Amino acid sequence: MKKNNILNPIKYFSGILIISSFIGIFMFFSLQTDPEFDSSFKIFLTGMIIFHFITGVGLLFKKAWGFYLFKLFLFIWLLGVPIGTLISWKTLQYIKKHDLEKFFT
């Protein structure tokens, strides 16, 4: 497999993370008028928006910190039984099988 083909799934994940951060921004502003939208959820949503965006950008530009944030994301996602567990487990196996860490500087 070529180098670029090996990294394609990671590029897709970076796009998904960046898009999800923009969806989170839209959700944040659309919920501003909801009286049940309290400050603790605002803090959580803001943190998730920032985490997804930074991780997606780090993966897109092949930065080592983006790769480690992505692995942290996958380990947290292991708790999302059953779909999150399946996706993150398969992705972690793919990363290990192809030794993708060497492509991130």
Give, to the nearest 10 degrees, the angle between helix 83-98 and helix 64-77: 140
At a CB cut-off of 8 Å and minimum separation 6, what does 15 contact?
A: 56, 60
CA 99 – CA 45 distance, rounded (Å): 32
46, 28 Cβ separation under 8 angstroms? yes
CA 1 – CA 78 distance, rounded (Å): 28
For the chain, the average pLDDT equals 93
The per-residue DSSP string of 17-31 comes to HHHHHHHHHHHHHHT
pLDDT band at 50 (very low <50, low <70, confident <90, very high): very high
Q: Enter the pTM of the model.
A: 0.89
pLDDT band at 9 (very low <50, low <70, confident <90, very high): very high
CA 22 – CA 27 distance, rounded (Å): 9
